Structure 1
Amino acid sequence: MDQELNQKIDAFIAANREQLLDDIAALVAINSVETAPAEGAPFGEGARAALDKALELAGKMGLATHNCEGYIGYAELPGADPDKYLATICHVDVVPAGEGWEADPFTMRRQDGWILGRGVMDDKGPMVVTLYALKFLKEMGVQLRYPIRALAGTNEETGMKDVEYYLAHNKAPAFCFTPDAEFPVCNGEKGHFHGKLVSPVCKGKILSFTGGVANNAVPDRASALVDADIVGLKNAPNITLEPENGGVRVRGWGKSGHAASPEGTVNAIGLVVDYLLANDLCTEEERKYLEALHKLHSSTAGEGLGIATSDGPFGPLTIIGGRIYMEDGRMVQTMDSRYPTSTNGEVIAQAIRNAIGDGAALEDVDAADPFYIEADTPAILACIDTYNQVTGKNEKPFTMGGGTYARHFPYAVSFGPESHDLVLPSFGGPMHGANESAPVDALLQSIKIYILALLRLEEIDF
């Protein structure tokens, strides 16, 4: 590594540390969960406000900015080649805060070298980090071969229509990386399968059933109001019972996490389902539906639904139930599956229908195939070599179940800044969970990694 360049980067990071954290806090302060569209705000006013803030921050750094009709925006550094450009892409929308926070999720907190708040890691913190990488290149007067755009999306969590709009109106970058996953480099993502298990109109003992805040997050709490007498009901682990309006509120208390990595989570909906079944708090028609839900919640590997499978590049399929709610007298359970190359959406859908029988209907199905880019391509090597050089490690690219913007581009990967061996503090939570947290030192180190990786990418003949 060029020692003079290394020293300049270190000095830049030290000088900008406090402002960077303040900028992340300014983005976190905006509740950018998707809401109803408004004029100039296709994914709601919160997402648009976060986009405006990101572009405002970039403008203050002296970067040229462009807003693509509220769908997406970018900050840009010019380059000599007008026909090709490099890009980074982050998102400024977030999943709902949910419950279980120890403080306001939209007021960023600092504690023992960590920052906490919705979006600090997914993906507002990395968004600000990429802007500072461009800020360094601008301040150093680096003459770029390819222009570099730092894209700021607004719909990653709920559909990625933002990047679809961008690519419909702009040429794709020669190469793009998204700081929305783990280091070192993710060069493949599992396929995605989504659907809903919908009950008949039962008009039985279950008066309401609610749980979860996002389709792609394991819920840590859920509850059902049932027409029953609390007297005689048995206690159960992670279940509480409360009398309510002549009935009983059955609450489940689980452990949240991301749908892409559900290992170690406890789905609160599944806890309530099993309690209702075990205590006969349902009619026969409701029982059939709950038994279908039990098959879903019994295994995050899909064994209960008969869809379990695995392959070499990606490992096992995963599936979770994210939200449950009642609509027009029916119970609706959303599902989120990440699957390897050894199956496909049609096979998964048919297996689920076979498993649930007439207990539920499978509706609103959609699927996207896995994507994979060979690890020895020049741009991926530039990213992995930079990471290993900065950290002193000898890591290899990996695949994952998470879905990022990378799958929408012809040549792209996800590239940090999370870490697979990161141990969360007792006061901190994961992405999509309560008390979402990020280590400050890791975010700062990622600035150096991104600066050096972009400089290496500039040397490649695309």
Structure 2
Amino acid sequence: MNDPRFASIDAFAEQNRDAILRDITRLVAVPSVEGTPAPGAPFGPGPRAALDKALEIAAELGLATHNADGYIGWAETGPVADGQKYLATITHCDVVPEGNGWDADPYTVRVRDGWLLGRGVADDKGPAILTLYALKYLKDNGVALKYPVRALLGVNEETRMEDVDYYAEHYEQPAFCFTPDAEFPVCNGEKGGFNGEFVSPVLEGGIIRDFAGGVAHNAVPDRAFCVVAVPASRLKAGAGLTFTEENGLTTIRAVGKSGHAATPEGTINAISLIVSCLLESGVCSETETAYLQVLAKLHASTDGSALGIAADDGLFTPLTIIGGTIECKDGCLRQTFDCRYPTNTDADKLTAAMQAVCGTAAKLENLTSRVPFYIDAGSPAIQTLINTYNEVTGENQKPFTMGGGTYARHFPYAVSFGPEHADLPLPEFAGPMHGANEGANFDKLIEALKIYILALLRLQEIEL
């Protein structure tokens, strides 16, 4: 590393290791799944409490803070005057539900073999604390800033991203923004997103009494159950399935392997295990069977080929689709899906293909979509980030595109920038983002802090 500033950055990051761990632990301890809106808490009390805690930590670090009506907040190195260009980072303090399969309390950070375990250590509370310490470095060292820096703290990223919509409506956008909510080195493009529900007809005269599973539409479910009015002896056994009988009803329970909807490789969808069991057992009514056959095509492969929607444009990774949650409501089954698609398809094509699969057995409801976005990898800010990453790590990486959806697409000039490492295997005791025992390598988080500080310094040196 030839940059003379790096010695100071390295010393700062190492000296603050204990404090960073302490503050990540404090923020993770606040359960912040979206809840019922309340005055001053538009996304529920949990996200608001997490925002308050993050701003409290920022104030303790000597940073100026602002809470924008509970929709979003920020810390900054100094006031941003009207019309003044500024830089921003954006992380989020909300999390997906804890789900099942944890070895310990999801909201108590554990340290094991250099890994932090807890809901949000990777997505995105750990990175949120890193951005606050990056600003602390700028403040403590009296860095003269051409562009003030604002560390935005969102609280609605995991569901609708209405926090950044609120910000765009009420505040000037940054000249450039990066979000530490993905993988290194630099992600300069994100697939489109297509979400909705497969809804059954009203199921009368069948054998299904209840069916539930999953914790979020954008996570592969690792638990599901279904209550059916048939004896267990008529059900086909399978891996991950257990049956219990009581009062003439059988409860089928399934255990799979969870993971993020954007990277479903290696996951096992618990809902699909039950769907397969019911179809192979041949116990359902004609209406139930027809609907389950639609779900079987959804779950058959995560590339959408069974639904006739597979797509690959050579720019992004191929299309993915997963079934996230299922519930029985008003006599109907409702299966959510989460699809991430490249540029050679669109929501209209996906809708038409999936409606053809549904026929009269199911209908599509609550459809939403977002188009892919892409920023030229040769642009000055992105080159600054990728060069900084490569110099700090000694690697020779290039920007990439991904299936995940981050805040970056909501800003005019933005990318996602770490801190995850796709090539770093998870230990047996740690899980992925959105999974049980969510883990983050602490040394890599500290390295990311160094990268962020140096990148923010270098972004001051280019024209935005």
Query: Same-fold call, TM > 0.5?
Result: yes
For residue 78 of structure 2, what is the aligned residue in structure 1?
Answer: 78
How far apart in 2 are the matches of 1:245 and 1:22?
51
How far apart in 2 are the matches of 1:156 and 1:258?
14
Report if the CA contact (8 A) 1:80-1:144 is conserved: no
Shift of 1:79: 7.3
**What is the root-mean-square deviation of aligned Cα atoms in Å?**
1.1
Match of 1:434 among 433, 436, 456: 436
Matching of residues 176-325 of structure 1 within 5 Å: 176-203=177-204, 204-325=206-327
Shift of 1:209: 0.3
Shift of 1:67: 0.4
Aligned partner letter, 1:62:
G
Report if the CA contact (8 A) 2:326-2:334 is conserved: yes
How far apart in 2 are the matches of 1:80 and 1:50?
24
For residue 161 of structure 2, what is the aligned residue in structure 1?
Answer: 160
How far apart in 1 are the matches of 2:246 and 2:441?
43
For residue 132 of structure 2, what is the aligned residue in structure 1?
Answer: 131
Shift of 1:10: 1.8
**Cα deviation 1:401-422 (Å, max 9, x = unaligned):** 0000000001000000001101
Q: Which moved more, 1:9-18 or 1:90-99?
A: 9-18
For residue 385 of structure 1, what is the aligned residue in structure 2?
Answer: 387
**Cα deviation 1:222-275 (Å, max 9, x = unaligned):** 110000012343321221111133211111221110000111111110110010
1:336 matches 2:324? no
How far apart in 1 are the matches of 2:23 and 2:63?
15
For residue 66 of structure 1, what is the aligned residue in structure 2?
Answer: 66
Q: Secondary structure at the match of 1:402?
A: coil
Q: Secondary structure at the match of 1:320?
A: strand
Report if the CA contact (8 A) 2:23-2:129 is conserved: yes
Q: Secondary structure at the match of 2:59?
A: helix
How far apart in 1 are the matches of 2:325 and 2:148?
42
TM-score of the superposed pair, with normalisation by structure 2? 0.98
For residue 11 of structure 1, what is the aligned residue in structure 2?
Answer: 11
Q: Secondary structure at the match of 2:426?
A: coil
For residue 363 of structure 1, what is the aligned residue in structure 2?
Answer: 365
Report if the CA contact (8 A) 1:79-1:148 is conserved: no
Q: Which moved more, 1:245-254 or 1:362-371?
A: 245-254
Percent identical among aligned pairs is 60
1:459 matches 2:457? no
Report if the CA contact (8 A) 2:6-2:454 is conserved: no
Shift of 1:327: 0.8
Q: How many residues align?
A: 462
For residue 56 of structure 2, what is the aligned residue in structure 1?
Answer: 56
Report if the CA contact (8 A) 1:187-1:397 is conserved: yes
How far apart in 2 are the matches of 1:83 and 1:136?
22
Shift of 1:372: 0.3
For residue 112 of structure 2, what is the aligned residue in structure 1?
Answer: 111
> Structure 2 stretches of 5 or more lacking a match?
none
Shift of 1:281: 2.7
Q: Which moved more, 1:209-218 or 1:10-19?
A: 10-19
Shift of 1:315: 2.3
For residue 24 of structure 2, what is the aligned residue in structure 1?
Answer: 24
Shift of 1:78: 2.3
Report if the CA contact (8 A) 2:234-2:283 is conserved: no
For residue 39 of structure 1, what is the aligned residue in structure 2?
Answer: 39
